[in-house]
Structure 1
Amino acid sequence: MTFGDFVRLSRAYVWVLIGCTILGALLMMAKTTREPVLYSATSSGLVRVGNATTAGEEQGNAQLAEDKANLYAFLVSTTPVAQEVVDELSLDVPPEAIAGRFSASVDASVNALTVSAIGSTPVEARDLANAVVDAVVVVAQQIETGEDNPKTPALTRIVPLSQAQLPGAPFTPDYRSAAMKGAAGGLGLCYAFLVARRLIDRRIRSAKHVEEATGAAVLGIIPKEDALGRAHRGVRGDLGRAAESFRQLRTNLRFVDVDNEPRRIVVTSALAGEGKSTVSANVARLMAQAGTPVLLVDADLRRPQIASTFEIDGALGLTQALAGDVDIREVILESGMDNLSLLPAGRIPPNPSELLGSLRMKQFVEDLSHDYFVILDAPPLLPVTDAGLLSAFCDGALLVQAAGKTQIEQSEHCRRILDQVGSRLLGVVLNKAPVKGAAAIAYGGGGYGGYGYGGYKSEYTSREAYSTAGKGRRRLAKLGRS
């Protein structure tokens, strides 16, 4: 995953990320409310050894004081020191229970010992911090002399530097720190889930995925549009945002091979429901609008769609012509649109593959391609062999893939099937591409990797401005002449 993919992922799931961040902070704060209220107090002192009378003695004492300070820091959290504190403060707790409440640090530059103590109340924390300083000297002297009550004065002493004061507020529970940790944890877990989900996702989500799986160029990216999901599949002209994408597909299809322009193509997909009938119907309509005589053949003899899409009578059609009951040109119907003719499927036969792969079907397509640009709406490639048989005697196949639905392995299998029958894959149409939302991350939030609509909008705006400016200049010229 590149940095750009990470940014698009963040933009697409921004509200999910925010929600997980807030949830993590709230959960951590809720957990923190169960923690006890504790206070911390700190006292410090300078470790001194003897009374030096010369500079040499002072230097030796300073080194010894540093060693003693490190020893005291070690002894602070031990049980003997805790016992001295319990005895001094007359506490009714075992020393083991409070030994872990003490901690110490040493500043070697001045041989300063800083002691921290934790208590359930401000007073307890203050008294514990002050008592530990005295207790640690006593325990150290007992260890050095081996006597419980040494009679000789201690060589080492701690000169108080600052007595512990009453803490103003507890250090735990720390809701701010807990909220920050919870927010960071929630955000991190959310990112980990999203990135892992993206890495293991094997569905087609970008033109790059399609090109890597099929080795063919993406001729068009059709955005998801409600009008395309209706019964008429957008053939009435209400394509919405998909209109310009279909025009671009029509242009790319015409120029896919300028030296050997295809005259008969098969439109198919990997599985049902990817929109191959929608693509074939609208490409046929737009090519007819451009002045090319087009014949749209419903070659899906298992689930025919063309008759219902264009609202024509599909009782007679291709199957009767293949059976020899009628002449092929007698069942070609007018669509009501200029240059667009339709050949419905007719009665659904028991042997579709045999009919579509027959020599008669091949001859029909060859004869009709002299007068029409023939587009065959074929069944999906993976469930049945019909599309492979048809593409073998056509100029090529147009493969429709549904963004976010078709698996990469399915695309690769489709390419292998076409290669096995010797068919040419003209290109791929990425259909049902989401324009916005989480699923649009691979397309840059609707930009489709260079197939965006912002450029068209600005172009139309520029043309309108230029046209308006021209009218204004002509109007001014007429006024000047008059």
Structure 2
Amino acid sequence: MWVLIGCTILGAALMLAKTTRDPVLYSATSSGLVRVGNAATAGEEQGNAQLAEDKANLYAFLVSKTPVAAQVVEDLDLDVPPEAIAGRFSASVDADVNALTVTAIGTTPEEARDLANAVVDAVVVVAQEIETGEENPKEPALTRIIPLEEAQLPGAPFTPNYESAAMKGALGGLGLAYAFLIGRRLIDRRIRTTKHVEEATGASVLGIIPKEDSLGRSHRGVRGDLGKAAESFRQLRTNLRFVDVDNEPRKIVVTSALAGEGKSTVSSNIARLVAQAGTPVLLIDADLRRPMIATTFEVDGAVGLTQALAGDVEIRDVIIDSGMPNLSLLPAGRIPPNPSELLGSLRMKQFIDDLAHDYLVILDAPPLLPVTDAGLLSAFCDGALLVQAAGKTQIEQSQSCRRILDQVGSRLLGVVLNKAPVKGASAIAYGGGYGGYGGYGGYRAEYTSREAYSTAGKGRRRKEAKAKAAKVDKVEKVDTAEKPSASEKAGTS
């Protein structure tokens, strides 16, 4: 958008600057009817009309020639060479009435008017000299121009035209901007659409997460203020459950191509939402180089996974409560000098296998391309969830990620397209309309805990039960009213 706006303004400004250097010129127009002789009969009149048409075309041809300009200089007593003003004259012919229209350009209104009027007389003189071969023919001219409309003083110069120049410059700048953007898009190798993702990785897109300010903060939206991204994360949670219904994954590695694509944000929020749905979840900070989970959930991460792998503590002793129902955390602990060896060890595999019996284990792993940690982890897990940043991740990087996962025998569960634009032209490529969810009951903020869902459900069920009970009571009253009493039966007997 800014490229289009900037180039449009720049083009208009450049054309205006160029136009200020153009001379101030005025234009005046005079016209006349071309007539030949005096016809006495209708036949002569028809012949003269055809001749007049030919003469009018000849005059229009001669108007911009040097001989006519020389005659104008002589008639007006100008102190300029004929060649200097010959290009200022132009003419057109209306063949229906044999009318000749002459336009002259001058540096002043008076000069333009005088030139236009003088050309009409000069062209007849020059044409007669050409036809007779005499400079001053003694015989009167057979053809004459009857003035129809003499030139008037122009009210304003026709150039420089700043409005027209600005419009042309703006259109030119806009065209160049579009050409630049189209060219850049053709050579752009960044992931921008779901089609790019699917072609590069061969996996489906499980979720598209829009850009949201709350996701860029230190808590990464785990407090429940996901804004427009709330429904997108719920959709991701649903899609993740149905990746493989028969063999539901219990050990999931969340990784990305490079740092800064939002893998920690995705892993934290998907773990929280799955736990909120009632499944016990353990979120492990397996990024032993740049751990983020402890900071995101604001817990103490001094002791964690690395101490358990080193044998200093038991693995279940360092699992801490997140403060949210069904969600437990395993921080990274102290940053070790050999993270790849620790994460790829047999002890790490045993820990994950053991914990997977009690939890859905989600591992926030380092990026795939810079280091081998994520590849090692995904080798003994059920699959990997790959996070890609829209407009940032290169297609070649996505292809490399898929190749690494295939080499270690890991399964790519799907791709999360993160940081998708919600406004502007690019939003069309990602489906757009993230703000439209408000019409379905206002997904502006999530429930902060599972109890909120339970309370809402109890209230609804209680209301439905009360309505059902009222309906049953009404039916029973009707039945009682219609059924005859014992005294009525006795009287009948």
Give distance in 2, aligned partners of 1:228 and 1:121. 67
Kindly tell me: are residues 451 and 249 of structure 1, through their superposed partners in 2, closer, same or farther at Cα, counting changes over 3 Å? farther
CA-to-partner distance for each residue in 1:345-385, whole Å, 9 max, x for gaps?
A: 23333332233223332232222212211111111011112
Tell me if structure 2 keeps the 8 A contact 1:206–1:443.
no
Q: Give the superposition deviation at 1:451.
A: 7.1
**Larger mean Cα displacement after TM superposition, 332-341 or 78-87:** 332-341
Match of 1:235 in 2: 222
Alignment-mate amino acid for residue 381 of structure 1: L
Kindly tell me: are residues 178 and 412 of structure 1, through their superposed partners in 2, closer, same or farther at Cα, counting changes over 3 Å? same
Q: How does 1:114-263 map to 2 (within 5 A)?
A: 114-263=101-250
**Larger mean Cα displacement after TM superposition, 343-352 or 254-263:** 343-352
Kindly tell me: are residues 238 and 54 of structure 1, through their superposed partners in 2, closer, same or farther at Cα, counting changes over 3 Å? closer
Please tell me the root mean square deviation across aligned C-alpha atoms, in Å: 3.1
Tell me if structure 2 keeps the 8 A contact 1:81–1:132.
yes
State yes or no: 1:404 paired with 2:391: yes
Match of 1:111 in 2: 98
Kindly tell me: are residues 337 and 41 of structure 1, through their superposed partners in 2, closer, same or farther at Cα, counting changes over 3 Å? closer
CA-to-partner distance for each residue in 1:409-443, whole Å, 9 max, x for gaps?
A: 2222212222222221111112223333x4xx322
- TM-score, normalising length: structure 2: 0.82
Find the residue that maps to 2:279 and give its secondary structure. coil
Give distance in 1, aligned partners of 2:307 and 2:154. 96
Identity score, percent: 83
Match of 1:429 in 2: 416
| Match for residue 276 of structure 1 among 263, 271, 278 | 263
Give distance in 2, aligned partners of 1:312 and 1:178. 64
State yes or no: 1:41 paired with 2:28: yes
**Larger mean Cα displacement after TM superposition, 40-49 or 264-273:** 40-49
State yes or no: 1:71 paired with 2:50: no
Q: How does 1:311-322 map to 2 (within 5 A)?
A: 311-322=298-309
Q: Give the superposition deviation at 1:263.
A: 0.6
Give distance in 1, aligned partners of 2:11 and 2:140. 57
Match of 1:84 in 2: 71
Q: How does 1:357-376 map to 2 (within 5 A)?
A: 357-376=344-363
Give distance in 1, aligned partners of 2:163 and 2:314. 83
Kindly tell me: are residues 366 and 161 of structure 1, through their superposed partners in 2, closer, same or farther at Cα, counting changes over 3 Å? same
State yes or no: 1:309 paired with 2:296: yes
Tell me if structure 1 keeps the 8 A contact 2:422–2:433.
no
Match of 2:336 in 1: 349
Tell me if structure 2 keeps the 8 A contact 1:38–1:120.
yes
Tell me if structure 2 keeps the 8 A contact 1:224–1:242.
yes
Find the residue that maps to 1:365 and give its secondary structure. helix
Give distance in 2, aligned partners of 1:96 and 1:345. 89
| Match for residue 293 of structure 1 among 280, 290, 294 | 280
Give distance in 2, aligned partners of 1:189 and 1:66. 47
Give distance in 2, aligned partners of 1:70 and 1:81. 15
Give distance in 2, aligned partners of 1:342 and 1:451. 34
Q: Give the superposition deviation at 1:55.
A: 4.6
Kindly tell me: are residues 409 and 124 of structure 1, through their superposed partners in 2, closer, same or farther at Cα, counting changes over 3 Å? same
Match of 1:3 in 2: none
CA-to-partner distance for each residue in 1:58-92, whole Å, 9 max, x for gaps?
A: 44433333222222111111111111111111111
CA-to-partner distance for each residue in 1:207-235, whole Å, 9 max, x for gaps?
A: 33323332222222223333333333333
Tell me if structure 2 keeps the 8 A contact 1:206–1:442.
no
| Match for residue 427 of structure 2 among 427, 435, 443 | 443
Where does the alignment leave 5 or more consecutive residues of structure 2 unmatched? 444-455, 475-493
CA-to-partner distance for each residue in 1:297-338, whole Å, 9 max, x for gaps?
A: 222122222233334443443334334444433333333333
Where does the alignment leave 5 or more consecutive residues of structure 1 unmatched? 1-12
Q: Give the superposition deviation at 1:25.
A: 4.4
Match of 2:446 in 1: none
Kindly tell me: are residues 304 and 177 of structure 1, through their superposed partners in 2, closer, same or farther at Cα, counting changes over 3 Å? closer
Alignment-mate amino acid for residue 455 of structure 1: Y
**Larger mean Cα displacement after TM superposition, 399-408 or 154-163:** 154-163
Kindly tell me: are residues 451 and 20 of structure 1, through their superposed partners in 2, closer, same or farther at Cα, counting changes over 3 Å? closer
Q: Give the superposition deviation at 1:103.
A: 0.5
State yes or no: 1:458 paired with 2:440: yes
Alignment-mate amino acid for residue 418 of structure 1: L
Q: Give the superposition deviation at 1:29.
A: 4.2
Kindly tell me: are residues 73 and 294 of structure 1, through their superposed partners in 2, closer, same or farther at Cα, counting changes over 3 Å? same
Q: May I ask how many residue pairs the two structures share in their alignment?
A: 453
Q: Give the superposition deviation at 1:44.
A: 1.8
**Larger mean Cα displacement after TM superposition, 139-148 or 397-406:** 139-148
Kindly tell me: are residues 28 and 44 of structure 1, through their superposed partners in 2, closer, same or farther at Cα, counting changes over 3 Å? same
Give distance in 1, aligned partners of 2:246 and 2:137. 110
Q: Give the superposition deviation at 1:53.
A: 4.3
Tell me if structure 2 keeps the 8 A contact 1:317–1:344.
yes
Give distance in 1, aligned partners of 2:86 and 2:218. 79
CA-to-partner distance for each residue in 1:153-208, whole Å, 9 max, x for gaps?
A: 33332232222223233322333433433343344344444444444433333333
Alignment-mate amino acid for residue 201 of structure 2: T
Give distance in 1, aligned partners of 2:20 and 2:258. 55
